[in-house]
Amino acid sequence: MDDLHPQTRAVHPPLIRPVGSTPLATPVYQGHLFSFEDSEAMAAAFEGPAQAVGGQDGAHSAFFYSRMGNPTVRTFEKAVADLEGGADALATGSGMGAVNAVFMALLRSGDHVVAQRSLYGGTYALLHDLAERWDVTVTHVSGDDPDEVRAALRPRTRLLYLETITNPTTQVVDLPVPASVAREAGVPTVVDNTFATPVLCRPLEHGADIVIHSATKYIGGHSDLLAGVVVCADPAVHHRIWSHSTELGACTDPTTASLAVRGLATLPLRMARHCENALALARRLAEHPAVERVHYPGLESHPQHAIARRLLDGGFGGVLSVELTGGREAGRRFAESLRLVRMAPSLGGTKTLVMHPASTSHRRLDARALAAAGIGEGTVRLAVGIEHVDDLWNDLEQALAAADRRE
Ligand SMILES: *Cc1c(COP(=O)(O)O)cnc(C)c1O
């Protein structure tokens, strides 16, 4: 290097690789390019996603361009694949990026999808957009009735799309039942497992073929990143989705992936607290005179409580919804009267959040349209965080009193 000019030496600093010790935290490989010693190794890298962090074993193991694979992102993908019991995973820039990667890879124009009726809003909108653009037809089913799923299947049905726990009514689908109907017909089942996380449910164990997460929620866990991930039971399906998603460009970046890996470390601890807090609050809310009904799979009164007990391990999730007796005005006043609990959409972070759909996200719907979406005028959704449950209860109690007070 000594005979080179400063301009050249400035561009080529030494690369320091730890030898004799290993970093404990996940290194962030921010660079998007990797260089090769020979053309054969570079050609091999074009064949598929790098399989080993460090790129030492296997024919297609080298990293070369981060849209196709990056060591930090691969760490996140392999960690989630392991927790879900899948063959491999693919990280995306957001949960919707993951949904898109799967739809784009598996659907062609003229294909048909069977999907649960109550879906995440973005997924619902995407399916209907695909219908308009590319003539992909959709049949919605409740998810509870295997005969309904069987009747919905057509020769060009390419996937069955379900969510483990739905929003905001917390419906729990008995995954093995619809998944086995789809499997008999050779149709893969895709499950959005965002609300349950692999801590509570691993859909691949219950007959699903592909699992999707918005890692923005519980996996990231701190409301400071946007990411998604697709986990596949079959490596060939993973390769197909990977290949398409490198064209779609919906990949995530290494810094986000490192934050998501950090989130995974505390995911089981956080989920335990989310579930414990949500159950305690659901029970106390159900007893309160200002509350007409609580939707939470952990309550015996929940229509799928028995299914939830079978399907979910160690808890029933962090989201619950509450119907207030005072209707729309009470819902709005309740959400606005909370002090510790913050008014915000989304879920999965450490802080408890509240939302009154009728006056915010669903404000354009009248009472009938709301009811069709399974939402009442006085329904509020709580995404329960990991604070001390008594502080949360005190806040909810004072807001219930304020909501009940007519001025
Ligand atoms: C938030 C969410 C998504 C979309 O995820 P983004 O990270 O916001 O793109 C998909 N499915 C469910 C169930 C969600 O809650």
Apex CA 165: angle with CA 163 and CA 167, to 5°? 95
Q: Give the residue whose CA is nearest to atom 6 of ligand 1.
A: 95
Q: What are the pLDDT digits (tens) for 91-120?
A: 999 999 999 999 999 999 999 999 999 899
Radius of gyration of the chain (CA): 23
Residues in the chain: 407
Question: What's the distance, CA 259 to chain centroid?
Answer: 16
Answer yes or no: is pLDDT of 63 > 80: yes
Q: What are the pLDDT digits (tens) for 259-318?
A: 999 999 999 999 999 999 999 999 999 999 999 999 999 999 999 999 999 999 999 999
Active-site residue list: 67, 120, 192, 217
CA of 279 to the centre of ligand 1 (A): 23
What pLDDT is recorded for position 55? 38
What pLDDT is recorded for position 124? 92
Question: What's the distance, CA 393 to chain centroid?
Answer: 27
Answer yes or no: is pLDDT of 66 > 80: yes
CA of 102 to the centre of ligand 1 (A): 14
Q: What are the pLDDT digits (tens) for 351-379?
A: 999 999 988 888 888 888 888 778 899 99
Work out whether the CA dihedral 309, 310, 311, 312 comes out positive or negative.
Answer: positive
| Look-up of token digits 């807001």 | 399
Q: How much is the mean pLDDT over the chain?
A: 93
CA of 72 to the centre of ligand 1 (A): 22
Answer yes or no: is pLDDT of 406 > 70: no
Rounded to whole angstroms, the maximal C-alpha distance in the chain is 83
Better-scored residue on pLDDT, 405 or 28: 28
For residue 221, which phi and psi values (nearest 5 degrees)? 80, -5
Q: What are the pLDDT digits (tens) for 331-348?
A: 999 999 999 999 999 999
Answer yes or no: is pLDDT of 57 > 50: no
Q: Which three-class secondary structure state does DSSP give residue 264?
A: helix
Ligand 1 atom showing the smallest separation from residue 99 Cα? 10
What pLDDT is recorded for position 58? 40
Ligand 1 atom showing the smallest separation from residue 163 Cα? 13
CA of 37 to the centre of ligand 1 (A): 41
Ligand 1 cavity residues, CB under 6 Å:
94-96, 120, 122, 163, 192, 194-195, 214, 216-217, 226, 228
What pLDDT is recorded for position 158? 98
Answer yes or no: is pLDDT of 192 > 80: yes
Answer yes or no: is pLDDT of 208 > 60: yes
Strands, DSSP E only, in 17-93?
Answer: 88-92
- Ligand 1 mutation pick, 165, 216, 225, max ligand atoms within 8 A of CB: 216
Ligand 1 atom showing the smallest separation from residue 346 Cα? 1
Answer yes or no: is pLDDT of 52 > 70: no
What pLDDT is recorded for position 50? 73
Among 94-108, 231-245, 269-283, 393-407, where is mean pLDDT lowest?
393-407
CA of 54 to the centre of ligand 1 (A): 31
| Other beta carbons within 10 Å of 50 | 22
Answer yes or no: is pLDDT of 135 > 50: yes
What pLDDT is recorded for position 296? 98
Ligand 1 atom showing the smallest separation from residue 215 Cα? 7
Answer yes or no: is pLDDT of 25 > 60: yes
